[in-house]
Amino acid sequence: MYRTDYHTHTPLCRHAEGSPEDFVARALELGLHEYGISDHAPMPGDAFDDWRMRESDLPAYLKWIDAARTAARGTGLIIRAGLECDWLPGIEKWTVHLRSLYDWDYLIGSVHYLAPGWAFDDPALAGLFHTGTSEEDWRLYWRHYEAMASSGLFDIYGHIDLIRKWGRVPDEDWISLAEPALAAMKRGGGIMEINTAGLHTAAKTHYPHPALLARARQFGIPIQINSDAHAPETLSRDFETAARSAIQVGYTHTTLPDRSRRPLNDSLPETDA
């Protein structure tokens, strides 16, 4: 199986650990074919929050990526350079600016903020609702996600139902709440990740939930499998679980940002199905 991990972090975001050499060593140990680095991108103003690199850290980030490339030299492991970008309404110009700073292999679009100052995945906000109710927060989340995907600015859609992180799901049919966002993801032309970090949260499944993954398959949204590793130990964690889920709902291959495809199961021929 062709194994890639395009969603990983570095210590520059101030909540991850590991050297480029450690990450590369782990990638080689796991037999990864490609290791993509996608740390939390700067936001306008260094005081935006304290869990991302500052814009002035960018040279250090590129040096980190270079060190990974040096460590991987001669091994066959391909290193990719990306960013995990935050979406908020009105951020488009900034995203275009981020894109221009380097010849990135890809940008991941993620929704962590329901509003400035309200990153709902922050443990300090667990159990609290920006709008006052869980249901309204869900609607707001999916509105943001839909706008993010519609922007067409992102190559990969990050942890699409991260809003499940604290284990709450609305009583109503929450899959249908996500459908406008799924339609936008299809239109936006990006790849949806199966993010295995969710398995280790109160969400208890990868993002997206298997039922949402099945719906995404019906929409024809391409996928790839990522760990969101914040340390070398969690690189490519639960890749097989995610691959099994994908095959179960009818996916036959993963897709890379250059649009090439890799069969999910070596015994399956590569198809357009």
Distance between CA atoms of 230 and 248, rounded to whole angstroms? 28
> 178 or 253: whose CB is closer to Zn ion?
178
Q: Residue 108 in contact with residue 82, Cβ under 8 Å?
A: yes
CB of 207 to Fe ion, least distance (A): 10
Q: Residue 253 in contact with residue 224, Cβ under 8 Å?
A: no
Binding of residue 238 to Zn ion (CB under 5 A)? no
Distance between CA atoms of 27 and 263, rounded to whole angstroms? 20
x/- map, 63-102, Zn ion, by CB under 5 A: ----------------------------------------
> 227 or 255: whose CB is closer to Zn ion?
227
Assigned token pair, 30: 């796991």
For the CA atoms of 194, 263, 235, 70, the dihedral, rounded to the nearest 10 degrees, stands at: -130
Binding of residue 228 to Zn ion (CB under 5 A)? yes
CB of 197 to Fe ion, least distance (A): 8
Q: Is 131 helix (H, G, I), strand (E, B) or coil?
A: coil
Closest CA relative to residue 182, chosen from 205, 204, 211, 203:
211
Q: Which residues bind Fe ion (CB under 5 A)?
A: 84, 110, 228
> 115 or 268: whose CB is closer to Fe ion?
115
DSSP assignment of 25-82 equals: HHHHHHT-SEEEEEEEPP-SSTTS-SSS--GGGHHHHHHHHHHHHHHHTTT-PEEEEE
- Which entry of Zn ion, Fe ion, none binds 86, CB below 5 to 8 A by partner kind? none
Binding of residue 57 to Zn ion (CB under 5 A)? no
Tell which positions 3-32 bind Zn ion, by CB under 5 A: none
Options 136-144, 169-177, 206-214, 226-234: segment touching Zn ion (CB under 5 A): 226-234
> 156 or 243: whose CB is closer to Fe ion?
156
Q: Which residues bind Zn ion (CB under 5 A)?
A: 228
